[in-house]
Amino acid sequence: MAEFQHARGPGNEPADRLTRQQFLRRAGMGLGAVALSAAGSARGNGVLDHPHVTPKIKRVIYLFNSGGPSQIELFDHKPELNRLHGTELPDSVRRGQRLTTMTGSQSSLPLAGSVFKFKPHGESGNRVSELLPHTSEIADEICIIRSMHTEAINHGPAVTYLQTGSQFPGRPSMGAWLDYGLGTENSDLPAFVVLVTRGKGGQPLLSRLWGSGFLPSKYQGVRFRSGKDPVLYLTNPDGLDAGARRLMLDRLRELHRADGRSGDSLLEARIAQYELAFRMQKSIPEATDFGQEPAHVFEEYGKDSKNPGTYAANCLLARRLAERGVRFIQLYHPGWDQHGNLPGAIRNQCRETDQATAALVKDLKRRGLLEDTLVIWGGEFGRTSYCQGKLTPTNYGRDHHPRCFSMWLAGGGIRGGTTYGRTDPFSYNIDENPVHIHDLQATILQLMGVDHERLSFKYQGRWFRLTDIQGKVIQKILA
Amino acid sequence: MRLILTICLVLLPPAITRAADGPVDFVRDVRPILSDNCFKCHGPDENARKADLRLDTEKSARAALGNGKPETSKLVQRILSGDPDEQMPPPASKLSLTPGEIAILQRWVREGGRFAAHWSFQSVGDVKPPMVRQAGWVRNPIDRFVLASLEQQQLKPNREASRQRLIRRVSFDLTGLPPTLKEIDAFLADKSEQAFERVVDRLLAKPGYGERMAADWLDIARYSDSYGYQVDRERYVWPWRDWVVRSFNANMPYDRFLSWQLAGDLLPNPTDEMRLATTFNRLHSQKVEGGSTLEEFRVEYVADRNHTFAMAFLGLTLECARCHEHKFDPITHKEYYQLFAFFNNIDESGVYSYFTPAIPTPTMLLTSDGQKAAIARVESKIAESEAAWRKVGGEREAAFREWLKKRPFPAVVPNPLPGRVLHMDFEKFNSGANRSIAGRFGKGVRLTGDDGIGTKVGNFRRSQPFSVSLWINTPDEKQRAILFHRSRAWTDAGSRGYQLMIEDGRLSGSLIHFWPGNALRVLTRRKVPVAGWHHVVMSWDGSNRAAGLKIYLDGRPAACTVVRDNLYKNITGGGGDTITIGQRMRDRGFTNGGVDEFQVFDRRLVDLEVAQLFDGHSLGEALATPVKQLAATQVAGLREYYLETFDKPYIAARQAARTQRDQRGKLVDGLKEIMVMTDLDSVRKRQTYVLRRGAYDAPTDPVEPDTPAVFLPFPKDAPRNRAGLARWLTSPVHPLTSRVAVNRLWQQCFGGGLVRTPEDFGSQGQPPTHPKLFDWLARDFVTHGWDIKRALRQVVLSATYRQDSTADRELVRRDPDNLLLARGPGYQLPAEMIRDNALWASGLLVDKQSGPPARPYDLAVSFKPIKIDQGEGLYRRSLYTFWKRTGPAPVMMTLDASKRDVCVVKRERTSSPLQACVLLNGPQFVEAARVFGQVLLKKHGDNLDALVTEMFRRLTSRRPSDREREILGRAFAEQLAYFTADPKRAEAFLKTGKAPVDKTLPAVRIAAAGMLANTLMNFDECLMKR
């Protein structure tokens, strides 16, 4: 009955098996002060004293392209669909599986071939669509997984599922789990940073996607905003400069130390908290200021990269945060939900993202960061091989498809220049090497040195883990 | 072994390793180890059980324990084994026992291996307060229990906190706000024995008490002003929040407070307040996204109610049992669904309406007394006018006979029939994908099912009679097909409007405000014949009753079943204002169905007219037949035809009734509604099934409402509904209800409960730190009528509560979590109190109770930015802050408020630099600081010392020491110098927030005083409860 076994392992342990770290926490020395101030030590400020396995990477950059990018247009070439264009999806392929109620009532489900061409690229010959000329240039770096699958059929549950391991709200995001388990690598930036493309329409994103769920809220992702305050109320009020703030904080510290008050752990934590806030007032604007980046960098990421809040600017910012030791950098770029007018809309999406995505991987590689960084590209599900709405030779739409979709991984520990998994000629079912989203989560944790079955948290009487009660590391994609 | 144990003792707080001295306590020491490591395979779940060994009951475990000899105990041998095939827990499970745990199990076996039932499932013990040595310290029975355990540990209680600290602590705990300087002074001056009691009684009587209590209850109830999930629209539920505040202030007994929320609608003679209380059960997240599977989310709602019930009232986590037998607690998979059944019987949908603002049913109209009276008046007028109309109908026989004799001859059948507002014959039809075919008469149309045929008519009110006539030809037996409708969409609009469909081969006609709970629907008993043309009419009489909706098949009224008969609001609005034929958004169209001769009338057709439309002669024939040759049915038909068409008194009476019905619409359609619980009647009762692995689409065995067997039986004479459940829950002998309640009251005062896991009173939770005190408190609570104020009063008047929170390092090291209660509570104030305190100190607080949510500054920078209020909405108490699930108030979130997605009974307390940013720079706090500075500057002028002292007192409730005054004086001088160096800085600084700046004072001094307040508002003693 292995499938019934929920998580159990080092997490918030029973009292007599506390780790040293937890003991410190319980003694009041922990909380944000410890999590964020243990400079220099790469490990040991999360709940895990040691990695379970040898870590291959130090950080993750997750390029979440949300809305459900069409695998058929991007990475999963299906010439058969062009031949069968306009004919009905055979029942033998559909096998009675549920559809969304958006196309569930449609009278006909005609197959739609992609209007885009595919070609092998690089030495590996990884097949990539003409929509992604820049990604094609990093074909030898990436491992394309064509056999991703999920059970969720709508955006909210599906994104939540990928990020938290559950379709329903309330569980911690992947970045929160890693922050909880491994702590932070840097002294004055958060361990888990979230960057959302500004002003994109499409299916809404929710702050709970990077939330800490039942973990303490300090593990939640910190969203960097693209405006004047990258972090909520980081900036001093108008009229107050850093010097005046420093004076005020000095007096506050004096007050905290006056009359023999000291030694109280909560008080010490508070003093540390204010000092760290002051350091962040410097370190965060420094990290988000592109002033020192040379012109060729902007050229490489594309002209959008000068425009804060764009996907390209966020890719560049992701590299800067990676350099500064942020452990989990989560980007979101919505807009891939092409129920209709797919060919035109996906062209725009690719134009907004392709160049910067590839630039990020190349840039990381050049700086020697790629070997200990994992870059993930992908959405929450795929799209149907049959058309939603009107089908013409050059125009069509596709509905949500959870049964197969494509993602790619690049960086430390990954066998670049490979393709894993195979779908049927309709890109409808998986023929070979299925990868469930829990398997992907298990693999990401493994690369970070964490056994997904052993990073857990007891909440409301049950042990929880990111991969719920499933998940197998995808050994074959690992170098 | 010995060495390892010693190390444990050194490293760990001794409070936690009590097992080292005294006998092993099964519940406290042993069961948690077994539960964590063994029960998965050797616990209550039969399906998961290995080796037929069960370790959760004494009888079944006995054989494995040996007779007091660890050497003969299989359990001990297996856990000590180094052989991977023998070792328990098996290495593959990735579980392992620590040496300390092994030692406990060995000792337990040696001591006889006795079991005890899980403490919280046993009835509350009848305990007497113990005798203590230091009796002089004791103020009430609570203290005896606490002191007895301290004395056992050879500890002494801490000194009493200073009066300033005490009044500050208790004011926050009971009202969420600090004491005023006057209140502090009065308390300091009151030298009587009852001084503190007087303070407490005064606080309990304040309206702020209810607000403070409500803040915690909103977490439990997962209260939010928006629906949640992705789209997360605003919703109207705050009247329930106000009910909570009122109930706490009125000191409603806890058993009633629960019963009303659980089942107010089902209790005898429910008032509006009682029904409003049940909104509690509807506060879960709700879905609106198109494409969602309705049943999946409806089941999720019921599950949420179930989990909330268990966690909020019983302190239990049920989730395990949703998919399989509970692994740790004796709650079966089946029992989960028996409890689920109580909450699974309301007329609700899995999504709310995207295109209309309809309130998801069931709902209650929120009416003032005046409105209620007006509605009652109009209802009685409607009844009167309908009676008068019927009466006239009966009295017009002579006039009818007269007409029958004198009818014009030859007969004239008007063509078209009067009131026709649309006729489509499809002779010259050209509409995209739909095909012209041979119709019933000439040409007709064959529909694709994906392409609707629009019209320009049909936006009828519910009081407006109308009829629709058409010929259809269905190629197959449709499971679901839309024939025509006036609505924007199916689920996305809650089906608002009216419609005629085929459902499982039958004709289904509906008028709908929000499906299913605010609608009426009739369904024909017979199926529509497949293949061939058939005539269909739907006619509506404007009555608002299902009986007024008629369906005719081939000229004759079809016998119908009433599916729903509960329409109480308008059927207009939401878009899609005119009739569409054959297709609807995200619904199934009339695929390959034929339609011909589509006609719409703005009145009710009578039977003879419908027959005429079908056969082209029935009415004409009847009109042409001489009186004596008329069949009885023809006479009846003609009577109806005459009255409806020609009889002036009858028509006048009909019009009078219609006027009253219109009046009702005007009165009711605009009224506010709120989601409540209303059970489906016995006919429509929803059957609950056990769901395999919790999947909404995998029902297995049917179950009836029942409560888990382990606690106490369901009362024999109680109804099997939520009212019965409420009786079961509030039984004085229920082992959990009172314990869970007093634990939370304790937590409210001490920061942690006597059970530190208020979310889990089951075997995975922590046992109470003071079991006897806990039982005594629970019993005392019930004995005194579940009186919340009394219980709180008793706790805060105890010497235990009055202890100072500052303790020596040795004690902190020994008992970091204050499990022994050898000191008073000390922790950061909850989010609401931190913000409210800043507003209160500065005088900005608008202390107004109740009403729509307020939108303060930080909502503008939430993840889903919200337009902020102008004026008082910026300064209300945080309880009233607008709560949007996908973009909750950032200040509140940073300060550890609950997210309110699901029931939460305990908040996490964290410390992060993001909190410092909010408190240093957040506009709400900066504004409060500068206004506070300004107020005191105005009051004290150049007397800096007075200013510093008052500011310090208002923010900490005590006077500053000389050293503190000196530091603050320096701080002021420094900031003054900074602002004076460039006065523009001061002007910029004072622009934060919307509160006016006093132009009569020097800006640089206001700014400097503001920064002084900013400093103190970040001072530990301002933010901490000490």
What is the per-residue pLDDT across B49-94, written as a single tens digit (0 to 9) for each? 888 888 887 778 888 887 778 888 888 888 888 888 888 888 888 7
Q: Does the pLDDT value for residue A28 go beyond 70?
A: no
Q: How confident is the model at residue B686 (pLDDT cuts 50, 70, 90)?
A: very high
Q: Give the mean model confidence (pLDDT) for residues A338-362.
A: 95
Which residue segments constitute the domains of chain B, with CATH numbers given?
Answer: 2-116 (no CATH), 135-211+739-814 (no CATH), 397-423+455-668 (2.60.120.200), 831-894+911-1026 (no CATH)
Q: What angle do CA B452, B456, B462 make, to 5 degrees?
A: 95
The 10s digit of each residue's pLDDT in B910-962 is: 778 889 999 999 999 999 999 999 999 999 999 999 999 999 999 999 999 99
Where is average pLDDT lowest: A34-48, A208-222, B883-897?
A34-48
What pLDDT, on a 0 to 100 scale, did the predictor assign at position B469?
A: 98
Q: Give the mean model confidence (pLDDT) for residues A310-320.
A: 97
Contact A251 B922 (CB under 8 A): no
Q: Give the CA distances from residue A289 to residues A30, A227, A359, B23, B545, in Å, rounded to whole numbers and listed in that order.
A: 31, 12, 19, 64, 67
For residue B530 the two structure tokens come to 């497949």
Q: Which residues contact residue B777 at a Cβ distance below 8 angstroms, ignoring those fewer than 6 apart?
A: B142, B742, B746, B754, B791
Q: Give the mean model confidence (pLDDT) for residues B485-492.
A: 95
Distance (Å) from the C-alpha of residue A251 to the closest C-alpha of chain B?
Answer: 6
Contact B17 A33 (CB under 8 A): no
Q: Is B886 on the interface with A (CB under 8 A)?
A: yes
Most confident by average pLDDT, B39-43, B573-577, B759-763, B812-816: B573-577
* Residue A276 lies inside a defined structural domain of this protein: no
Distance of alpha carbon B145 from alpha carbon B165, whole angstroms? 24
Name residue, tokens 């109320």: A233
**Closest partner CB to B910 (pick from A27, A31, A231):** A31
Q: Give the mean model confidence (pLDDT) for residues A245-251.
A: 97
**Domain extent for A158:** 2-231+294-477
Q: How confident is the model at residue B662 (pLDDT cuts 50, 70, 90)?
A: very high
What pLDDT, on a 0 to 100 scale, did the predictor assign at position B858?
A: 96
Three-state DSSP class for residue B989: helix
Question: What is the per-residue burial (b if ≥16 Cβ within 10 Å, else e) of A151-161?
Answer: ebbbbbbbbbb
* Residue A447 lies inside a defined structural domain of this protein: yes
Distance of alpha carbon B952 from alpha carbon B959, whole angstroms? 7
* Residue A197 lies inside a defined structural domain of this protein: yes
For residue B284 the two structure tokens come to 């879960």
Higher pLDDT, B901 or B255: B255
Eight-state DSSP code of residue B611: H
Q: How confident is the model at residue A426 (pLDDT cuts 50, 70, 90)?
A: very high
Percent of chain B with pLDDT over 70: 97
Eight-state DSSP code of residue B311: I
Distance of alpha carbon B149 from alpha carbon B774, whole angstroms? 13
Q: How confident is the model at residue B810 (pLDDT cuts 50, 70, 90)?
A: confident
What pLDDT, on a 0 to 100 scale, did the predictor assign at position A214?
A: 84
Q: Give the mean model confidence (pLDDT) for residues B573-584.
A: 96
For residue B905 the two structure tokens come to 């009974």
Distance (Å) from the C-alpha of residue B182 to the closest C-alpha of chain A?
Answer: 26
**Closest partner CB to B894 (pick from A28, A153, A232):** A232
Contact B968 A251 (CB under 8 A): yes
Higher pLDDT, B879 or B811: B879
Nearest chain A residue to B861 by CA distance is A232
| Backbone φ, ψ for residue A126 (5° rounding) | -55, 130
Q: Does the pLDDT value for residue A131 go beyond 80?
A: yes
Query: 577-596 in B: which are within 8 Å (CB) of A?
Result: 586-589, 591-592
Which helix (H) or strand (E) covers residue A146, if one does? Answer: strand A142-149
Count of C-beta atoms within a 10 Å radius of residue A165: 27
Distance (Å) from the C-alpha of residue B653 to the closest C-alpha of chain A?
Answer: 46
Three-state DSSP class for residue A292: coil
Distance (Å) from the C-alpha of residue A217 to the closest C-alpha of chain B?
Answer: 7
Q: Does the pLDDT value for residue B27 go beyond 90?
A: no
Q: Give the mean model confidence (pLDDT) for residues A342-360.
A: 96
Q: Which residues in chain B touch residue A4, judged by CB atoms under 8 angstroms apart?
A: 40, 45, 47-48, 324
Q: Give the mean model confidence (pLDDT) for residues B713-730.
A: 97
* Residue A365 lies inside a defined structural domain of this protein: yes
Distance of alpha carbon B559 from alpha carbon B523, whole angstroms? 8
**Closest partner CB to B1020 (pick from A153, A154, A256):** A256
What pLDDT, on a 0 to 100 scale, did the predictor assign at position B874?
A: 97
A125, A132 contact by CB (below 8 A):
no
Which helix (H) or strand (E) covers residue A82, if one does? Answer: helix A79-83
What pLDDT, on a 0 to 100 scale, did the predictor assign at position B67?
A: 77
* Residue A465 lies inside a defined structural domain of this protein: yes
Average pLDDT, chain B: 93
Contact B921 A1 (CB under 8 A): no
Distance (Å) from the C-alpha of residue B720 to the closest C-alpha of chain A?
Answer: 28
For residue B787 the two structure tokens come to 């009186």
The 10s digit of each residue's pLDDT in B538-573 is: 999 999 999 999 999 999 999 999 999 999 999 999
What pLDDT, on a 0 to 100 scale, did the predictor assign at position A163?
A: 95
Distance (Å) from the C-alpha of residue A184 to the closest C-alpha of chain B?
Answer: 13
Contact A170 B901 (CB under 8 A): yes
The 10s digit of each residue's pLDDT in B92-142 is: 887 888 888 888 888 888 888 888 778 888 899 999 999 999 999 999 999
What pLDDT, on a 0 to 100 scale, did the predictor assign at position B431?
A: 67
* Residue A254 lies inside a defined structural domain of this protein: no
Distance of alpha carbon B32 from alpha carbon B26, whole angstroms? 9
Eight-state DSSP code of residue B881: B
For residue A75 the two structure tokens come to 């990475």
Q: Is B7 on the interface with A (CB under 8 A)?
A: no
Burial class (CB in 10 A: 0-12, 13-18, 19+), B970: middle
Please, what is the end-to-end C-alpha distance for chain A in angstroms?
32
* Strands of B377-494, DSSP E: 420-424, 435-438, 443-446, 453-454, 466-473, 480-486
Q: Give the mean model confidence (pLDDT) for residues A251-271.
A: 84
Q: What CATH number is given to the structural domain containing A151?
A: 3.40.720.10
Higher pLDDT, A379 or B86: A379
Distance of alpha carbon A422 from alpha carbon A71, whole angstroms? 12
Task: Give B364's strand partners.
Answer: B674
What pLDDT, on a 0 to 100 scale, did the predictor assign at position B53?
A: 86
Q: Give the mean model confidence (pLDDT) for residues A278-305.
A: 94
A–B: how many Cβ contacts below 8 A?
Answer: 272
What pLDDT, on a 0 to 100 scale, did the predictor assign at position A101?
A: 67
Q: Which residues in chain A touch residue B926, judged by CB atoms under 8 angstroms apart?
A: 237
Site from A219, A251, A262, A458 to mutate, B interface, most B CB atoms within 10 angstroms: A251
- Among candidate residues A339, A318, A336, A335, the one with its CA nearest the CA of residue A327: A318
What pLDDT, on a 0 to 100 scale, did the predictor assign at position A200?
A: 79
- Among candidate residues B690, B233, B906, B287, the one with its CA nearest the CA of residue A167: B287
B1012, B972 contact by CB (below 8 A):
yes
B891, B211 contact by CB (below 8 A):
no
What pLDDT, on a 0 to 100 scale, did the predictor assign at position B78?
A: 87
Contact A461 B292 (CB under 8 A): no
Q: Is the dihedral angle over the CA atoms B306, B309, B312, B315 positive or is it negative? A: negative
Q: How confident is the model at residue B21 (pLDDT cuts 50, 70, 90)?
A: low
For residue B887 the two structure tokens come to 């973009």
Q: Does the pLDDT value for residue B19 go beyond 70?
A: no
Nearest chain A residue to B1022 by CA distance is A256
Distance (Å) from the C-alpha of residue B122 to the closest C-alpha of chain A?
Answer: 19
Contact B992 A265 (CB under 8 A): no
* Residue A412 lies inside a defined structural domain of this protein: yes
Count of C-beta atoms within a 10 Å radius of residue B950: 18
Contact B760 A460 (CB under 8 A): yes
**Closest partner CB to B917 (pick from A8, A14, A277):** A277
What pLDDT, on a 0 to 100 scale, did the predictor assign at position B350?
A: 95
Count of structural domains within chain A: 1
**Closest partner CB to B816 (pick from A26, A107, A203):** A26
Contact A252 B17 (CB under 8 A): no
- Among candidate residues B570, B550, B545, the one with its CA nearest the CA of residue B560: B550
A270, A256 contact by CB (below 8 A):
yes
Q: Which residues in chain B touch residue A156, judged by CB atoms under 8 angstroms apart?
A: 229-230, 289
How many residues does the structure list for chain A?
479
Q: How many CA atoms lie within 13 A of B368 on its CB side?
A: 3
What pLDDT, on a 0 to 100 scale, did the predictor assign at position B22?
A: 65
Q: Is B890 on the interface with A (CB under 8 A)?
A: yes
Q: Is B476 on the interface with A (CB under 8 A)?
A: no
Q: Which residues in chain B touch residue A206, judged by CB atoms under 8 angstroms apart?
A: 230, 232, 863, 886
Q: Does the pLDDT value for residue A148 go beyond 90?
A: yes
Q: How confident is the model at residue A29 (pLDDT cuts 50, 70, 90)?
A: very low
Distance of alpha carbon B23 from alpha carbon A348, whole angstroms? 72
Site from B451, B914, B951, B989 to mutate, A interface, most A CB atoms within 10 angstroms: B914
Distance (Å) from the C-alpha of residue B371 to the closest C-alpha of chain A?
Answer: 40
* Residue A413 lies inside a defined structural domain of this protein: yes
Distance of alpha carbon B879 from alpha carbon B854, whole angstroms? 9
**Closest partner CB to A154 (pick from B289, B450, B491):** B289
Q: Is B67 on the interface with A (CB under 8 A)?
A: no
Q: Give the mean model confidence (pLDDT) for residues A89-110.
A: 80
Average pLDDT, chain A: 87
| Backbone φ, ψ for residue B140 (5° rounding) | -155, 175
Site from B18, B29, B94 to mutate, A interface, most A CB atoms within 10 angstroms: B94
What pLDDT, on a 0 to 100 scale, did the predictor assign at position A22?
A: 39
Query: 232-261 in A: which are within 8 Å (CB) of B?
Result: 232-241, 243-245, 247-248, 251-252, 254-256, 258-259, 261
Which bin fits A290, alpha (ψ -120 to 50), beta or left (φ > 0)?
alpha
Site from B917, B930, B989 to mutate, A interface, most A CB atoms within 10 angstroms: B917
Distance (Å) from the C-alpha of residue A458 to the closest C-alpha of chain B?
Answer: 9
- Among candidate residues A161, A134, A142, the one with its CA nearest the CA of residue A150: A161
Q: Does the pLDDT value for residue B429 go beyond 60?
A: yes
The 10s digit of each residue's pLDDT in B142-189 is: 999 999 999 999 999 999 999 999 999 999 999 999 999 999 999 999
Q: Is A9 on the interface with B (CB under 8 A)?
A: yes
Query: 391-450 in A: which are within 8 Å (CB) of B?
Result: 400
For residue B932 the two structure tokens come to 């506070």
Q: Is the dihedral angle over the CA atoms A394, A397, A403, A406 positive or is it negative? A: positive
The 10s digit of each residue's pLDDT in A113-122 is: 999 999 999 9
Q: Give the CA distances from residue B399 to residues B142, B625, B692, B830, in Å, rounded to whole numbers and listed in that order.
A: 87, 18, 67, 79
**Closest partner CB to A258 (pick from B100, B963, B991):** B963
How many residues does the structure list for chain B?
1026
What pLDDT, on a 0 to 100 scale, did the predictor assign at position A33?
A: 31
